[in-house]
C-alpha cells in the first residue's frame, strides 16, 4: 500500500439531500450527521443522549430510521435525509403530525421529532400495526413526560388516516 | 462531540484487509457500540476502517444445509428475512428485543460478536446453533466455532489484522426447538440482565442434542455444558430439566451491577432455563406426533 492510500484525510466534501434539498458540506470524519444537520439549521433534529438510547435525533436515511448521533456525516454522503420538517409543516401537516397534535401527544416536545420519525418508519413497514408493533417500533425512543399512551393512540389514528388516504387515492 | 479520529474508506475487501494488516486500526461497521465508547473515553487519534462500502459483507443466503450471514447484516435484516423464523427462531426472538428500531437498523451481527461483551444478545442464539465464524486477513481465511472465538471479557480470538466476514450454521432439523429469552429491566432499549438460548433435538422421544447458551452471567457468553449433558440420552422429564436448570445456575459466574445482583441473576438462570427447556420439550416433542 502506498503512503498516499494510508495518508490521513482530515476533511472531505460530502453531498447530502436534506428534505429534498441538495446540501454540500466539508467536514472531518468525526463529525456526526446530527451535528451537521443542526449546523445546517435543522434544529428540529434534537440532541439527547448521544449514545443511541433516547432516539431524539432520529431521522430517515434513504428511508430507514437511524440515530443521527451515531451516523457519521461521511457515511451519509450521496444519500437522502428526511427530518420531521420534511414530512410536513403547519400548512401541510403529515397525518402523524396532525394526530400528535390532536391526541396531545407532546408535553415538553423534545422527544417528539424522533418519535414521529420512528413512527413514520414503522408505518412505512407495517401500515396496520398492532399495539405490540407500535411499542416495538418505538422501543428506541424515550419520552420522560407523557407515559407514551397518547403517543401510541396518535400513531394508531395516523395509521387509520393513512390507510383511508391510500384507499381513496 | 466525538474526539478526532482517522477514518479509512476501503472500496474492496482486499483493500480493507491490506489496511488492517499494515495500519493499527479497528473495523467500524454500524458504530452503535464503538462511537458511544469513543465519546465516553474522549480519546483522540484512533484509526478506523469503515466497512460501509463493502456490500459483499451484507446479506443472508439460505441453502438446505447451511445459513450464511454476511458480517455486516443488521439486526433489522434478520427481522425482515422471510426464511429466518425457521432457519434460526431464537435469532428472530432476540432481534425483536434488541435495543430500539434505529439501533437495529445500524448495528451489525459482526460488531455485536466482535465487541465481545457478555451481554451481546446476538451471541446466545448463535452459540446455541453451533455457529461458525469465518475470519479473513491478507494472509488468508480461517473458520472457527463461535464457542472457540469467545475467550474472556471483551476478549475474542480475532487477531488485529483479521476481519470477521461471515457467520454460518445448520438450520434446525425437524424435532428441534430453538428458543431465546431476554430478561431486562424494560422490554426494549435495555442491556440484558440474563439472556438464555436453548436448542433441543428430540428423536423418537429421546433428547439427542442439547445446547444451552447463557448471556450476561459470566465474563463471556458461554455454554452450560454440564446442563446440556444432563439432558442427552433420554426423554426430558421434570427431574432432568430441574437438574439441568440447577447445573446451568451453578455454572454461571454473575456479578452485582446496577441492573441486578449476582444472586438474582443466578436464580433467574435457574428459572429461565427450566422454563425454556419445558417449552422446548413441548415444541420439539409435538413435531413428531
Closest-CA residue of A relative to B25 is A6
Going along chain B from its start, the domains and CATH numbers come out as 59-169 (3.30.465.10), 176-286 (3.30.390.50)
Residue among B253, B243, B246, B256 nearest B222 (CA)? B253
Residues of B in contact with A30 (CB under 8 A): 1-5, 7
Alpha carbon of A161: minimum distance to chain B alpha carbons (Å): 23
User: In chain A, which residues have their Cβ closer than 8 Å to the Cβ of B76?
Assistant: 64
**Residue A1 confidence class, pLDDT cut points 50, 70, 90:** very low
Q: Same domain, yes or no, for A65 and A127? A: no
First to last CA, chain A: 57
- For residues B83-105, give the mean pLDDT: 97
Is A52 in contact with B39 (Cβ distance < 8 A)? no
Mean pLDDT of A117-122: 98
| CB-count burial class (<10 Å; 0-12, 13-18, 19+) for B67 | buried
Interface test with chain A among B31, B48, B95, B100, by most A beta carbons within 10 Å: B100
Residues of A in Cβ contact (< 8 Å) with B96: 136
Q: What is the pLDDT of residues B147-166, one digit of tens each?
A: 999 999 999 999 999 999 99
The answer to whether residues B89 and B178 touch, using CB atoms and an 8 Å cutoff, is: yes
Q: Give A-chain residues touching B102 at CB under 8 angstroms.
A: 52, 55, 58, 65-67, 70, 118, 140
* φ/ψ of residue B47, rounded to 5: -130, 125
**Burial of B15: CB neighbours in 10 Å, binned 0-12, 13-18, 19+:** middle
Question: Which residue on chain B is closest to A133 by alpha carbon?
Answer: B96
Residue-wise pLDDT for A123-165, tens only, equals 999 999 999 999 999 999 999 999 999 999 999 999 999 999 9
Query: Is the confidence at residue A112, as pLDDT, over 50?
Result: yes
Render pLDDT for A14-39 as a digit per residue (tens, 0 to 9). 999 999 999 999 999 999 999 999 99
To the nearest 10°, the Cα dihedral for B36, B38, B42, B47?
A: -160
Whether A49 and A92 share a structural domain: no
The ipTM of this complex is 0.94
Residues A107 and A57 both lie in one domain: no
Question: Over 90: is that where the pLDDT of A118 sits?
Answer: yes
Residue A27 structural domain: 3-86
**Residue A120 reports pLDDT greater than 60:** yes
* Domain end residue (candidates: A86, A121, A146): A86
Q: Name the one residue in this structure whose C-alpha cell is 439472556.
A: B195
Contact A58, B189 (CB under 8 A): no
A65/B35 Cβ within 8 A: no
What Rg, from alpha-carbon coordinates, does chain A have?
A: 17
Name the average pLDDT for chain B.
96
Percent of chain A that is helix, strand, coil (3-state, to 5): 40, 15, 40
Residues A27, A97, single domain; the answer is: no
Per-residue confidence (pLDDT) for residue B187, from 0 to 100: 81
> Which among B122, B67, B62, B117 has a CA at the least distance from the CA of B91?
B122
Cell digits of residue B187 = 422490554
Decide if B174 contacts B92 (C-beta within 8 A): no
Give the count of beta carbons closer than 10 Å to the beta carbon of residue A43. Answer: 13
Confidence of residue B109 (pLDDT cuts 50, 70, 90): very high
Comparing CB atoms, the residue among B1, B9, B102 nearest residue A66 is B102
Among A45, A48, A67, the strongest candidate for a mutation testing the B interface, having the largest count of B CBs within 10 A, is A67
A72 in contact with chain B, both atoms CB, cutoff 8 A: yes
* Neighbour count for residue B288 (Cβ, 10 Å): 11
Closest-CA residue of chain A to B191: A53
Residue B285: its H or E element: helix B262-286
Question: What's the pLDDT at B283?
Answer: 87
- d(C-alpha A149, C-alpha A152), whole Å: 5
Task: Using CB atoms, pick whichever of B1, B32, B101 lies closest to residue A65.
Answer: B101
Check if the beta carbon of residue B163 is closer than 8 Å to that of residue B142.
no
Which residues from B are below 8 Å from A75, CB to CB?
Answer: 50, 52
Which residues of chain A neighbour B187 with C-beta distances below 8 Å?
135, 139
pLDDT at A168 over 90: no
Residues of A whose CB is below 8 A from B11: none
Q: Say whether both A7 and A82 belong to one domain.
A: yes
| pLDDT digit string, tens, across residues A35-74 | 999 999 999 999 999 999 999 999 999 999 999 999 999 9
Q: A41 with A95, same domain?
A: no
Average pLDDT of the residues of chain A: 94
Residue B188's pLDDT band (cuts 50, 70, 90): confident
Which pLDDT value is given to residue A45? Answer: 98
Let me know whether A17 and A80 are in one domain.
Answer: yes
Positive or negative torsion for Cα B91, B93, B98, B104? positive
Identify the closest residue of chain B to A142 by CA–CA distance. B189
- pLDDT, residue A5, reads 47
Strand partners, B50: B28
For residue A75, give the chain B residue with the closest CA.
B52
- The CATH number of whichever domain residue A96 belongs to comes to 1.10.150.120
On the question of pLDDT at B284 being above 80, the answer is yes
d(CA B106, CA A59): 13
Q: Tell me the three cell numbers of residue B220.
A: 463471556
Q: How confident is the model at residue A169 (pLDDT cuts 50, 70, 90)?
A: confident
Domain boundary among A86, A110, A131: A86
Q: Do A95 and A152 fall into the same domain?
A: yes
| A1 against B141, higher pLDDT | B141
Mean pLDDT value across residues A105-125: 97
Are B106 and B134 within 8 A, CB to CB? no
Cβ pair B39:A50 closer than 8 A: yes
Nearest CB neighbour to B100, from listed A5, A29, A139: A139
CA distance A58 to chain B (A): 7
pLDDT (0 to 100) of residue B288: 52
Q: Does A86 touch chain B (CB under 8 A)?
A: no
* CB-closest option in A32, A72, A140 to B102: A140
The CATH code of the domain that includes A77 is 3.10.20.30
The 10s digit of each residue's pLDDT in B233-282 is 999 999 999 999 999 999 999 999 999 999 999 999 999 999 999 999 99
> From CA B133, how far away is CA B127, in angstroms rounded?
11
Last residue of a domain, one of A70, A86, A102: A86
| Burial class of B58 by CB neighbour count within 10 A (0 to 12, 13 to 18, 19+) | middle
- The percent of residues in chain A predicted with pLDDT above 70, rounded, is 95
A11-18 vs A21-28, strand pairing mode: antiparallel
| Total number of domains constituting chain A | 2
A118 chain-B contacts, CB cut-off 8 A: 100-102
Q: Are residues A59 and A32 in the same domain?
A: yes
pLDDT confidence of residue A7: 55
pLDDT score recorded for residue B84: 98
Contacts of B23 in chain A (CB under 8 A): 6
Q: Determine contact: A41 vs chain B, CB below 8 A.
A: no
B256: number of Cβ within 10 Å:
11
Amino acid at each position: 500500500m502506498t503512503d498516499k492510500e494510508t495518508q490521513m484525510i482530515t476533511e472531505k466534501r460530502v453531498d447530502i439531500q436534506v428534505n429534498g434539498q441538495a446540501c454540500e458540506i466539508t467536514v472531518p470524519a468525526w463529525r456526526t450527521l446530527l451535528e451537521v444537520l443542526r449546523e445546517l439549521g435543522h434544529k428540529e433534529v434534537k440532541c439527547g443522549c448521544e449514545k443511541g438510547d433516547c432516539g431524539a435525533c432520529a431521522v430517515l436515511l434513504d428511508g430507514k430510521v437511524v440515530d443521527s448521533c451515531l451516523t457519521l456525516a461521511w457515511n451519509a454522503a450521496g444519500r437522502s435525509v428526511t427530518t420531521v420538517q420534511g414530512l410536513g409543516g403547519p400548512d401541510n401537516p403529515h397525518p402523524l403530525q396532525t394526530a400528535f397534535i390532536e391526541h396531545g401527544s407532546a408535553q415538553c416536545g423534545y422527544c417528539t421529532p424522533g418519535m414521529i420519525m420512528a413512527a413514520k418508519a414503522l408505518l412505512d413497514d407495517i401500515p396496520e400495526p398492532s399495539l405490540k408493533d407500535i411499542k416495538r417500533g418505538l422501543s428506541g425512543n424515550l419520552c420522560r413526560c407523557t407515559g407514551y399512551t397518547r403517543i401510541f393512540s396518535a400513531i394508531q389514528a395516523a395509521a387509520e388516516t393513512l390507510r383511508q388516504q391510500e384507499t381513496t387515492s | 462531540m466525538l474526539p478526532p479520529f482517522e477514518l479509512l474508506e476501503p472500496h474492496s475487501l482486499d483493500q480493507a484487509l491490506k489496511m488492517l494488516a499494515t495500519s493499527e486500526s479497528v473495523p467500524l461497521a454500524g458504530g452503535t457500540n464503538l462511537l458511544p465508547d469513543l465519546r465516553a473515553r474522549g480519546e483522540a487519534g484512533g484509526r478506523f476502517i469503515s466497512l460501509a462500502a463493502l456490500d459483499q459483507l451484507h446479506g443472508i443466503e439460505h441453502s438446505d444445509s447451511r445459513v450464511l450471514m454476511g458480517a455486516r447484516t443488521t439486526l433489522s435484516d434478520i427481522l425482515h428475512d422471510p426464511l429466518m423464523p425457521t432457519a434460526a427462531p431464537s435469532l428472530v426472538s432476540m432481534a425483536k428485543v434488541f435495543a430500539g428500531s434505529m439501533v437495529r437498523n445500524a448495528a451489525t451481527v459482526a460488531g455485536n460478536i466482535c465487541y465481545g461483551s457478555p451481554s451481546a444478545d446476538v451471541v446466545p442464539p448463535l452459540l446455541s446453533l453451533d455457529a461458525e465464524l469465518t475470519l479473513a486477513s491478507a494472509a488468508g481465511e480461517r473458520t472457527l466455532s463461535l464457542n472457540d472465538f469467545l475467550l474472556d471479557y471483551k476478549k475474542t480470538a480475532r487477531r488485529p489484522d483479521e476481519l470477521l466476514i461471515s457467520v454460518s450454521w445448520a438450520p434446525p432439523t425437524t424435532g428441534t426447538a430453538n428458543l431465546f429469552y431476554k430478561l431486562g429491566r424494560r422490554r426494549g432499549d435495555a442491556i440484558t440482565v440474563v439472556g438464555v438460548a436453548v436448542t433441543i433435538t428430540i428423536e423418537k422421544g429421546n433428547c439427542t442434542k442439547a445446547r444451552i447458551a447463557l448471556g450476561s452471567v459470566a465474563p463471556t457468553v458461554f455454554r452450560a455444558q454440564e446442563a446440556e449433558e444432563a439432558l442427552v440420552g433420554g426423554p426430558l422429564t421434570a427431574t432432568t430439566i430441574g437438574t439441568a436448570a440447577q447445573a446451568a445456575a451453578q455454572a454461571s459466574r454473575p456479578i452485582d451491577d446496577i441492573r441486578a445482583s449476582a444472586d438474582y441473576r443466578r436464580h433467574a438462570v435457574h428459572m429461565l432455563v427450566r422454563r425454556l427447556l419445558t417449552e422446548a420439550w413441548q415444541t420439539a416433542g409435538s413435531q413428531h406426533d
